[in-house]
Structure 1
Amino acid sequence: MSDTKRPDKGAVDQKNNKDQKNGRIVIFSSVIVIVLIAAIAFMIFSNQHGNEAKPKKKEPTHRTEKVTRIDYEGQPFIGSSNAPVKVVEFSDYRCPYCKEFEENVVPELDKEYVKTGKISLYFINDTILGPGSVLAANASEEVYHQNPKAFWAFHKAVFDAQKNEKEQWVTEKLLTSIAQKTVPSIDIKAFQNALDTKSRQSEVDKDNDLAESLGVPGTPVIFVGDQMIDGGQDYKVLKKAIDKALSEKK
């Protein structure tokens, strides 16, 4: 009969405590791993969800990029409709700088570019200086509607009559007098009715909307083709821009 040695109680307890400790370490480590995996999975999901919610902005292309262009239809102009370059002045009849442009720059443009068939020069309203500007614009639109050829004589006379910007010098009486002097064939009753009812306001609004869509910051502002010219009120600057546009047409 073999003699079996009885295990020491202290050693057994020590082993059990060690096993329990190792078990707790394994469980704790497993929990940490699970938490880390869950955190990583959440981050991946959130990133994917965010990308879906905020798609990348498309790069502009010739098909997707919106370009605002000038609508010349129905606008008064001087020069040939077949001129290779179109020049546009956005202007206000009460603006003193617009008056300077009309007096100092337009005659030079007319001489060098309009009469030689190189450009056509358009005028478009941009009524930024209040009710007087709107009234004058309505008057000019009515004159253009009745007699397009007489428009420019009326147009020039209104600028000639301009007074200090702080004065409310634009009146129906003044505009009627100018119309009678510059447009002998005008139907004066229809003209006065247009001023009373602002029957040409839709044309004025169209001009103002166009100016806003193009980002016109004030008056006068000059475009050569569809390009706004910085400092275009200066003849030398404008001449350079026109010559460049003409060279590109060759």
Structure 2
Amino acid sequence: MFPRTARFSALLLLAASTILSSGCRAQAGADAMKMSPELTRRVALLIRTKAQLPFTYDVKVGDRRPSPVTGYDQITVSIGEYGKPLKPMAFLISKDNQSLAQMNTFDLSKDPSTITSDAGRPSRGGSEKAPVKIVVYDDLECPYCARMHAQMFPAITNRYGDNVRIVYKDFPLTQIHPWGLHAAVNADCLADQSPKAYWNYVDYMHSHLDTVGIDPDAKDKDNNKTLPVALKQLDRAALDEGTKQKLDMKRLNACVDKQDETGVKAYMKEGEGLNVNGVPALFINGEMITGAVPIEFVYRAVDDALLAQGVTPPPAVPLPSLDAPAASTETPAAK
């Protein structure tokens, strides 16, 4: 074992290196220039000291090559634990060998608002042309999601009107929520025919979270939640909503009975690719906010997104209370 500070510094250094390992790398060729063993060791020891790398880490310094920065050459330093693949990092070394610098280049070409799409999902608020889009990864069995759904999103739509478009994507925490996936499938069955039916079902599920699974005929209702009862209630609520909205009931019944999880799991995989590991998770024009956070943080993110689109945010309003601890997020149970 090595000290936690050393381990943290080493991991931080290697985390930065992943940007370079997946991008362009200098290739060996005629422009490569050998460094003396003494200078090579000096560079390696400096990096090892500054990054607080433990003795179990290897540092290999490559040849120097011309760089686009005046007065500096470029060198590639490979770092990692002995016996494991090393990760390359790019450094700049001055022509007079008196200083070492590091410069990371990040890709700014991609619009962050496009990292997750609102296309193909039922929406609330503004149209597809709304300047701000909020994509929410939601779990219909999550109490924090229910609290945010009931209090925060009405406040957002009231404050911003058509300037904000809200869509939900499925992210049931199947490790801890036994019926969340089933409810998501039912919601999407309704969404295939009617956005209104979808939202009514989502509203109902989030507002009746405490009663799902309780047999109304049971004598002891306090400790009588069961999965079979919950699944019947979920299906009954979906079919009742379909009847109310005059949907194609044959089609809806077939969808509910089939319980095809493909679409839901595709959204779950998408969320995992965006580092979603708990719910609710909001993407406000690409900015990620997780948990039942104080609403002023959400307002701030929406205001910033509006300003970036050239839209003046509305005046400040009294802040509603979420009645929840700051940054409360439900995450899967540890394995």
Q: Same fold judged by TM-score > 0.5?
A: yes
Aligned-pair Cα RMSD in Å? 3.3
**Quick one: structure 1 residues 133 and 107, their matched pair in 2 at CA, closer, same or farther if it must change by over 3 Å?**
same
- 1:231/1:237 contact within 8 Å kept: no
Which whole-Å CA distance do the structure 2 matches of 1:153 and 1:130 have between them?
Answer: 21
2:171 matches 1:134? no
Residue 182 in structure 1 maps to residue 229 in structure 2: no
For residue 154 of structure 1, give the secondary structure of its aligned residue in structure 2.
helix
Q: Give the corresponding residue for 2:252.
A: 191
Residues 157-185 of structure 1: CA distance to partner in whole angstroms, max 9, x if unpaired? 11122127994467342123222433321
In structure 1, stretches of 5+ residues that fail to align are 1-42
Aligned residues: 205
Check 1:57–1:64 CA distance in 2 against 1; reply closer, same or farther (3 A cut): farther
Structure-2 change in CA distance of 1:186 and 1:223 (3 Å): same
1:36 matched residue in structure 2: none
- Partner amino acid, structure 1, of 2:280: P
More displaced, 127-136 or 227-236? Answer: 227-236
Instruction: Describe the SS at the equivalent of 2:168.
Output: strand
Residue matched to 1:145: 192
User: Helix, strand or coil for the counterpart of 2:192?
Assistant: helix
Q: Aligned residue for 2:134?
A: 87
Amino acid at match of 2:252: F
Contact 1:222 1:232 in 2 (8 A): no
Structure 2: runs of 5+ lacking an equivalent: 1-36, 42-59, 64-76, 79-86, 91-103, 214-224, 311-335
Q: In the aligned structure 2, how far is the partner of 1:187 from the partner of 1:72?
A: 25
> What whole-Å deviation, never above 9, does each CA across 1:60-115 have from its counterpart, x for those lacking one?
442899x88112221221121110011122111110111111111111112112xx
Q: Which residue number in structure 1 is paired with residue 34 of structure 2? A: none
SS in 1 for 2:166: strand
**Pairing of 1:171-250 with structure 2 (within 5 A):** 171-183=230-242, 184=244, 185-199=246-260, 201-229=261-289, 233-250=293-310
Greater gyration radius: 1
Counterpart-to-counterpart distance in 2, 1:92 and 1:203: 14
Amino acid in structure 2 at the alignment position of 1:182: E
Q: Which residue of 2 aligns with 1:109?
A: 156
Report the Cα distance in structure 1 between the residues aligned to 2:120 and 2:151, rounded to whole angstroms.
26
- Residue 62 of structure 2: aligned partner: 51
Question: Aligned partners of 1:61, 1:237: CA distance in 2, in Å?
Answer: 26
Q: Look up the SS of the partner of 1:51 in the other structure.
A: strand
Q: Which residue of 2 aligns with 1:17?
A: none
Contact 1:86 1:224 in 2 (8 A): yes
Aligned with 2:202 (options 146, 155, 161): 155
Aligned mates of 2:151, 2:117 — CA distance in 1: 26
* Structure having greater relative contact order (Cα 8 Å, sep ≥ 6): 1
**CA apart distance, 1:152:** 0.8
More helix by share: 1
- In structure 2, distance between residues paired with 1:168 and 1:139: 19
User: In 2 relative to 1, CA 159–56 (structure 1 residues): closer, same or farther, beyond 3 Å?
Assistant: closer
Does structure 2 retain, via aligned residues, the 8 Å contact 1:134–1:204? yes
**Alignment partners' CA distance in 2, 1:168 and 1:222:** 31
Inter-CA distance 186–70: structure 2 relative to 1 (3 Å threshold): same
Deviation at 1:51, TM superposition (A): 3.4
Alpha-carbon distance change, 102 to 230 in structure 1, aligned in 2, over 3 angstroms: closer
Secondary structure of 2:199's aligned partner: helix
